[in-house]
Structure 1
Amino acid sequence: MKKIFITITGCNHYMGYGVFRRKMELVLKKEPDNEYDREAIRAELPGIGKVGYVANSTHTVLGDTCSAGRIYDKIGKKAHAKVVLITDRGVVARVKG
């Protein structure tokens, strides 16, 4: 799998951006029954739980990172990612292949 970078957003609705550190491992889980987004992928920190979602809007995707819609069919029900950058607008992570 080529390098895929994503933006984790919506963190202010959960634990905020202060919980993230570079090189942290994230678990990505599809939410096919999400009433707001059929391509929703939630981001979880092991032992903590849901901390946000993979961005799926041109307003929330940072730079050239991929939206949830672009990676939805490229991952299984669950995938892993590693935090590479933390900003006040989102967390950039690399999907592990």
Structure 2
Amino acid sequence: MTKVFITLTGTKHYFGNDFLEKGMKIRLEKEPDNEYDKEAIKVTYKGLGKIGYVANSPYTVIGESMSAGRLYDKIGDVAYAKVLLITSVGTICKICKKSLVKEEEE
């Protein structure tokens, strides 16, 4: 599988994005009980807790990033990513290879 990028969004509802730095490791966790989105993937940072979500709307996904809906079945219940680029409209992150579920060979 090629490199997988996601957009971290919604940070303004938690701690903002001033603390984010390139190279930071973040944790992604599926949130199937989310009342608004059954494919929600929350993003947490050690010591702070929830800092946002993986974007899942055409209005919040930046560029060729993968939406939460497209990513959902490609990761386990928990995954990790690294921050690559911080912008005013979202943060681009790369999913760590070890977090990707290997597709079954036929």
TM-score, length-scaled by structure 2: 0.90
Amino acid at match of 1:77: D
Tell me which protein shows more strand as a share of its residues.
1
Relative contact order, CA 8 A, sep 6+: which one is greater? Answer: 1
Say yes or no: does 1:39 pair with 2:39.
yes
Amino acid at match of 2:6: I
Looking at structure 1, the residues matched to 32 and 95 of structure 2 have their Cα atoms a distance apart, in angstroms, of 19
Q: CA RMSD in A?
A: 0.6
| Rg comparison, structure with higher value | 2
Give % identity.
54
TM-score, length-scaled by structure 1: 0.98
| Number of aligned residues | 97
Equivalent residue runs for 1:68-83 within 5 Å: 68-83=68-83
For structure 1, which runs of at least 5 residues remain unmatched after alignment? Answer: none
Q: Which consecutive segments of 4 or more residues in structure 1 shift more than 3 A?
A: none
For structure 2, which runs of at least 5 residues remain unmatched after alignment? Answer: 98-106
Which residue number corresponds to residue 55 of structure 1? 55
